[in-house]
Chain A
Amino acid sequence: MANSKAVQPGTDAIAAKGWIAAHKWLILRRISQLGILGLFLLGPLAGIWIIKGNLASSLTLDVLPLTDPYVLIQSVLAGQRPIQTAITGAVIITVFYLLVGGRTYCSWLCPINIITDAAAWLRNKLSLKGGATFSKNSRFWLLGVTLLLALMSGTIAWELVNPVSMVFRGLIFGMGMAWGIVLAIFLLDLLVSKRAWCGSLCPVGAFYSLLGHTSLLRVSAAHRENCNDCMDCFVVCPEHQVIKPALKEIPTGTGPVILFSQCTNCGRCIDVCSENVFQFDFRFNNTKTTSVANKHEVLS
């Protein structure tokens, strides 16, 4: 559907696979995001204590401690020695994201993602274009700033303004004026710049992106030879720059696996592709498929 701007990406996929299949990963992600939030809320709301705490640190079934390594690193930089519980929890989380991809945090857990996805959807629907542009590297600079501020102030300064934790914690412990942040981010992404917050600014996403630099679980354009250039994956992808090498650079011998750690493993590209080009795969399946592709070239 490259010719019609007003049509939402995925229209072809819905026609080809049906609505459910064309939204499979989106639905699963929303179930994950809301489900995990729901588990945290079960305690305070219904007295069923499966998980206590919030994303900064939690205790599951009274035995499993989980701690956000990003906030713990800031605490250490602020001059505090973490105790064993926090270290254990942070190691578990780190290992998890090393395997499944750091920014899986973004698309499968983070509450802000639902808001920025909604803004991107509406922006596309209303065909809003232009606005300011932020460098996609800003988030890494900001990540540096948050670490530096912790070091210099001796406090976890970023947690005073972090929208991710503010909203997740707020939903469990009381929002206060955090709805204002939600609205601000929505408007920023809708009116100022496409995917501005998650795609350019958020240091949390930047941290997890670095964490998942060598992660095992990746999305792969395994059947890229079937691509019909509809561009739907580029439109729907929150980090569209990550797709091109894997999808389009067959001649240069680039493998089909999306190796950029900015890919959030959201699976939307899998959803919206009517030709079933994409699938979840492992990082090491890259060379194998490349050799197949190369063989292809040799043969032709």
Chain B
Amino acid sequence: MKFSGKRRKFLTETARTAAGVGVAALMMGFYTRQSRALPADAIRPPGAIDEDSFLGACIRCGLCVIDCPYETLSLAAAGDDVALGTPYFTARNIPCEMCQDIPCIKACPTGALDHGLEKIDDARMGLAVVIDQEACIAFQGLRCEVCFNICPIRGKAIDLDYRHNARSGKHALFIPIVHSDACTGCGKCEQACILEQAAIKVMPLSLAKGQMQGHYRLGWEEKEKAGGSLIDTEDKHEYNLPSGSRYDYEGEGLIPGEGNDVPFSDNPLDTLNGLKEGM
């Protein structure tokens, strides 16, 4: 088959365009994949739907940014690590003040920010985590509690846990504990942390949260639900103790370096073999 000059030109032209467009499409495709990754310190506004959907729903208009009275939010500019044009904030710089009327969501013309979110306390922008217990001075026995005091919903989202100070032997530690069922991830605590690098940081929920396997049951909770023990209580409860330690059942607890009157050797194989013998 022979092509006339005109037809040939048309075909080469089309092929050339298709090839060029194909390359552009591939490059855009790869770039799209890459830019899905959100840096851990970039927090989406309250009510933001899950990240994958967010990138399909947010049309990058910036209305949320404009209506935030605290200038918390910004739109990612070209060259930022956050997907171009999408709103985010960095808690350490300007956290979310948890406005009761949530103007950022009201401003959003799309479903990128969930208009069903009515109470700011139900927002889950992330989760605060005391991520460096070596640096947090509360763990050294010093009084701080700044993160606790700054929290707009302290007592629910963050508590102080009083613990024994083993170093001094007579003081208490006031340990900040964040509760994931209440923390909104507003980042006020991270911003307020007095350290040069915050020891408490808001992390994306996907990074911060662990999750038990669905079939795990906690015995004491099940017991409470059932109104009594679900198994026959054992005659004698046995503990696997570290070698060279003793357990005082009357309240002293684990006593290291004091004889070994447990019925187990420190070699677990002996225990297993012993069981076999007993059978």
Q: Which residues of chain A have a CB within 8 Å of any CB of chain B?
A: 43-44, 52-54, 56-59, 65, 67-68, 71-72, 75, 78-83, 85-86, 89, 134-135, 137-138, 141-142, 145-146, 148-150, 152-161, 165-166, 169-170, 172-178, 180-181
Q: What is the minimal beta-carbon distance from A94 to any residue of chain B, in angstroms?
A: 15
Contacts A142-B21, A145-B21 given; does A159 touch B109 at CB 8 Å = no
CA distance A135 to B66 in the complex (A): 40
**Does B31 interact with chain A (Cβ within 8 Å)?**
yes
Segment at the A interface, from B78-86, B202-210, B221-229, B249-257: B78-86
Q: What is the minimal beta-carbon distance from A15 to any residue of chain B, in angstroms?
A: 40
Contacts of A181 in B (CB 8 A): 78
Cβ-neighbour of B84 out of A57, A82, A135, A160 (below 8 A): A160
Task: Determine whether the beta carbon of A155 is less than 8 Å from that of B36.
Answer: yes
Which B residues between 1 and 26 are near A, CB-CB below 8 angstroms? 13-14, 16-18, 20-21, 24-25
Task: Determine whether the beta carbon of A178 is less than 8 Å from that of B110.
Answer: no
Task: Determine whether the beta carbon of A83 is less than 8 Å from that of B109.
Answer: yes
Q: 6 A-B pairs, CB-CB below 8 angstroms?
A: A53-B63, A82-B111, A155-B36, A156-B60, A157-B29, A166-B84
CA distance A185 to B240 in the complex (A): 72
Q: Which residues of chain B have a CB within 8 Å of any CB of chain A?
A: 13-14, 16-18, 20-21, 24-25, 28-29, 31-33, 35-36, 52-53, 55-63, 65-67, 74-80, 83-85, 107, 109-112, 115
CA distance A83 to B29 in the complex (A): 27
**CB closest chain-A residue, reference B29:** A149
CA distance A142 to B22 in the complex (A): 9
Nearest first, the 8 A-B pairs at minimum CB distance are: A176-B77, A78-B56, A177-B79, A57-B61, A155-B55, A176-B78, A157-B32, A178-B78
Task: Determine whether the beta carbon of A145 is less than 8 Å from that of B52.
Answer: no
Cβ-neighbour of B28 out of A57, A83, A154, A157 (below 8 A): A157
Task: Determine whether the beta carbon of A173 is less than 8 Å from that of B52.
Answer: no
**CB closest chain-A residue, reference B34:** A160
Task: Determine whether the beta carbon of A67 is less than 8 Å from that of B109.
Answer: yes
CA distance A150 to B58 in the complex (A): 13
Contacts A86-B109, A170-B77 given; does A153 touch B32 at CB 8 Å = yes
Task: Determine whether the beta carbon of B77 is less than 8 Å from that of A175.
Answer: yes
Q: Supply 5 further A-B pairs (C-beta < 8 A) apart from A82-B111, A181-B78.
A: A58-B61, A78-B56, A142-B21, A149-B32, A176-B80
Cβ-neighbour of A81 out of B62, B63, B111 (below 8 A): B111
Contacts of A176 in B (CB 8 A): 76-80
Task: Determine whether the beta carbon of B24 is less than 8 Å from that of A145.
Answer: yes
Output the residue of A43, A150, A161 with the most chain B CB within 10 A: A161
Cβ-neighbour of B78 out of A79, A154, A166 (below 8 A): A166
**CB closest chain-A residue, reference B21:** A141
Contacts of B78 in A (CB 8 A): 166, 170, 175-178, 180-181
Contacts A53-B66, A177-B79 given; does A169 touch B60 at CB 8 Å = yes
Task: Determine whether the beta carbon of A138 is less than 8 Å from that of B21.
Answer: yes
Contacts A52-B66, A141-B17, A169-B60 given; does A177 touch B32 at CB 8 Å = no
Cβ-neighbour of A59 out of B20, B28, B63, B111 (below 8 A): B63
Contacts of B85 in A (CB 8 A): 56, 159, 165-166, 169
CA distance A177 to B85 in the complex (A): 12
Q: What is the minimal beta-carbon distance from B117 to any residue of chain A, in angstroms?
A: 13
Cβ-neighbour of B17 out of A53, A58, A135, A161 (below 8 A): A135
Cβ-neighbour of B61 out of A54, A160, A174 (below 8 A): A54
Contacts A56-B59, A154-B52, A176-B78 given; does A135 touch B16 at CB 8 Å = yes
**CB closest chain-B residue, reference A152:** B29
CA distance A142 to B16 in the complex (A): 13
CA distance A295 to B36 in the complex (A): 64
Task: Determine whether the beta carbon of B63 is less than 8 Å from that of A80.
Answer: no
Task: Determine whether the beta carbon of A86 is less than 8 Å from that of B32.
Answer: no
Q: What is the minimal beta-carbon distance from A164 to any residue of chain B, in angstroms?
A: 12
Contacts of B55 in A (CB 8 A): 78, 154-156
Task: Determine whether the beta carbon of A67 is less than 8 Å from that of B79.
Answer: no
Q: What is the minimal beta-carbon distance from B90 to any residue of chain A, in angstroms?
A: 14
Contacts of A81 in B (CB 8 A): 111
